[in-house]
Amino acid sequence: MTVQGYGSKELALLVEIPYNAHFEFSRAGHLTLARSTSTGADVHSQRRKESIMCRRLGVSFAALLFGLVAACTPEIQYRQLNAVGSKSTCTTHTDPAQCPTAEISTDPDYFLGIVEFDDQGVLFNRNQFNYVIQQIDQRTPNDQDHEGTILITFTHGWDHNAQADDENLEFFREMLSRFCAAERGEAMLDQRKPRRVIGAYLAWRGQISTWRLFQVLSFWNRKDAAHRIGERDATEVLLQLRVSAYAHPGPSRDTPNRFIVMGHSFGGALVYSAMSQLIAGHLLSRQNPASNFLPLADAVILFNPAFEAARLQHLLETAADMDEQRPGLSIFTSKTDWATGVAFPLARYVNTIGLAYREIADPVKPTEMMSQREADTHSAGHFGLFLTHDLVRAPKEGSEPCNQQQELVAPDIHALWGLRDREERSRLLRQYGDVTRHAQERLSETYADNSRSVLEFGHTCLIARGKLVRKQLAVFNVSVDSTLWDGHSLNQTEDRLELFQGFLQKFILFAASTPQGEEEVSSEALRVHPAKPRAVLREHKF
């Protein structure tokens, strides 16, 4: 290789290259020093432009970095005042130090406590949790207007937190309101005091940024945080809430206290991480007729949960050979949920590059094989092999297997209390009670008959995938039609909310009831460690 006009010795020395010179390769592969026809002024002008461009790029990058930092949602405790307020006490403009950690509603009549976790899976402030437990324990036995408890926990999903205007929190308030209305109606029919409806909203940093793109890119970060919280303090929190729910007897044996656990999106993943092993242990204990046990929960329900189907495998294997079971875990996923159906697999494929997978036996159909990779990259509600049922809207007229059963359609109990005509309200209330009891009797009868694959809820039907699983299962993994739940969000049309929540109230009663022929045995005492400080052990009788 030669340089035109220079010797090899000169190349070893520092060579001064004129401002208008540059190196080029000739066709023969020789490196040549050529001269440009540009003047010195042109070159300096070009360098000045490049310098300005570099500075602008630097400023733009700094601005972007500053914007990302500024758009980050801080890790703070949104409810710092250990007091009971109302919904209006805390707004988006209220100082967190003045936002109460609990709120009470008088019409409808419910109590709501908020418990917050940090990114490391630890309670943000244990005094906050102690205060919520204290309020629940004090209100339940001392409430002169109520007898017994219905305690419902809800864990929000991705892109949400404990702020006053959070959509998930508002959804939970509406759910508590519906439960209050239903319980009030049933109590009047039974001529008893209503059970106290109590909500516990489990909050974490689901929203990491107000910038949509940055929030989308936080998928892996927030997913890890949700599982981390579930594997740490969330288990203790749920178990302590369970103790408070069952600490005192309900109005009667036929009307016991209820403990219902719910989670949405990554909140569903959090709940599953906290409870999956407990559910497995509970299912196993129920197989021993001599065992004394309290229910782990009357219902564990996850909406559009964002966790891998592979995580569900061990629970399906545990429950595979169990008969006469009501669902200990129920998963409901919309068919049109783009977040868990499309985005989740794409993100998981990126995250699983380099991992080794193999073909293994399907826990639902052991004679067949399934791909570990597919199970580990698809969400539980979009992995066809693990789906057990389809929830569909029943047509008024149509062919089998699902038709609308008008005799199972109850009046809207939520709207019933707004009627001024007392006679009409009483009539509709009696109709509501009759329909509810008839629906539960029909469900129990149908569920006990293995030849029937459809559970009828009036406007909706739950159809078992008979070719895949038995109808009587300890785990329900349900694919929901878009006419009942569309997409990932909890924000749905009034029509869909009315239908789905109406189904949900009937389903919870069905899931919580004891299978025919099985007498539930209660433990004489449940000993647990209360929330810190742990000075003494508390004893609760069921």
pLDDT confidence band for 6 (50 / 70 / 90): very low
Burial of 503 (0-12, 13-18, 19+ CB in 10 A): buried
Q: How far is CA 489 from the centre of its chain?
A: 11
Average pLDDT value for the chain? 80
Tokens of 166: 């959070």
Nearest one of 460, 442, 437 to 452, comparing CA atoms? 442
What is the tens place of the pLDDT at every residue in 158-204? 989 999 889 999 999 989 998 988 888 888 888 889 999 999 999 99
Q: Which of 13-17, 264-268, 457-461, 536-540 has the highest mean pLDDT?
A: 264-268
What is the tens place of the pLDDT at every residue in 417-428? 677 777 887 888
Q: What is the pLDDT of residue 196?
A: 93
- Which tops the pLDDT comparison, 66 or 348? 348
DSSP string, 433-501: HHHHHHHHHHHHHHHH-TT--EEE-SSEEEEE-TTTS-SS-SEEEEEEPTTT--SS-S---HHHHHHHH
The answer, yes or no, to whether residue 60 has pLDDT greater than 60, is no
Q: What is the pLDDT of residue 61?
A: 42
Buried b (16+ CB within 10 A) or exposed e, 98-128: ebbbbbbbeebbbbbbbbbbbbebebbbeeb
- Please give the DSSP secondary-structure letter assigned to residue 533: S
Rounded Cα distance between 258 and 239, Å, is: 14
Q: What is the pLDDT of residue 58?
A: 52
pLDDT confidence band for 40 (50 / 70 / 90): low
* Angle, helices 494-512/167-190, rounded to nearest 10 degrees: 60
Burial of 3 (0-12, 13-18, 19+ CB in 10 A): middle
DSSP strand pairing (196-203 vs 109-116): parallel
Q: What is the pLDDT of residue 537?
A: 30
pTM over 0.85: no
C-beta separation of 516 from 448 below 8 A: yes
- Angle at 337 (CA atoms; ends 331, 341), nearest 5 degrees: 85
Q: What is the pLDDT of residue 419?
A: 72
What is the tens place of the pLDDT at every residue in 286-312? 777 666 667 789 999 999 999 999 999
Nearest one of 150, 246, 134, 148 to 539, comparing CA atoms? 246
Q: What is the pLDDT of residue 72?
A: 64
Q: What is the pLDDT of residue 41?
A: 57
Q: For 158-162, 353-357, 358-362, 427-431, which range has the lowest pLDDT when averaged over its residues?
A: 427-431
Q: For 27-36, 71-80, 153-162, which range has the lowest pLDDT when averaged over its residues?
A: 27-36
Q: For 51-60, 248-257, 295-304, 494-503, which range has the lowest pLDDT when averaged over its residues?
A: 51-60
Question: What residue type is assigned to position 502 of the chain?
Answer: G
C-beta separation of 111 from 86 below 8 A: no
The answer, yes or no, to whether residue 339 has pLDDT greater than 50, is yes
- Which tops the pLDDT comparison, 472 or 503? 503
C-beta separation of 360 from 369 below 8 A: yes
DSSP strand pairing (369-371 vs 81-85): unpaired
pLDDT confidence band for 34 (50 / 70 / 90): low
**What are the boundaries of each domain within the chain?**
1-37, 81-349+385-527
- What lies within 8 Å, CB to CB, of 433 at 6+ separation is 185, 186, 189
The answer, yes or no, to whether residue 337 has pLDDT greater than 90, is yes
Rounded Cα distance between 198 and 134, Å, is: 13
The answer, yes or no, to whether residue 324 has pLDDT greater than 80, is no
- Which tops the pLDDT comparison, 64 or 387? 387
The answer, yes or no, to whether residue 275 has pLDDT greater than 90, is yes
Helix (H) or strand (E) holding 106: strand 100-106
Q: What is the pLDDT of residue 184?
A: 86
Q: How far is CA 321 from the centre of its chain?
A: 28
Nearest one of 295, 305, 297 to 271, comparing CA atoms? 305
Nearest one of 92, 91, 128, 132 to 111, comparing CA atoms? 132
DSSP strand pairing (196-203 vs 389-393): unpaired
**Share of residues in the chain with pLDDT > 90 (%):** 41
The answer, yes or no, to whether residue 19 has pLDDT greater than 80, is no
Q: What is the pLDDT of residue 436?
A: 82
Rounded Cα distance between 169 and 495, Å, is: 20
User: Helix, strand or coil for residue 301?
Assistant: strand
Q: What is the pLDDT of residue 66?
A: 42
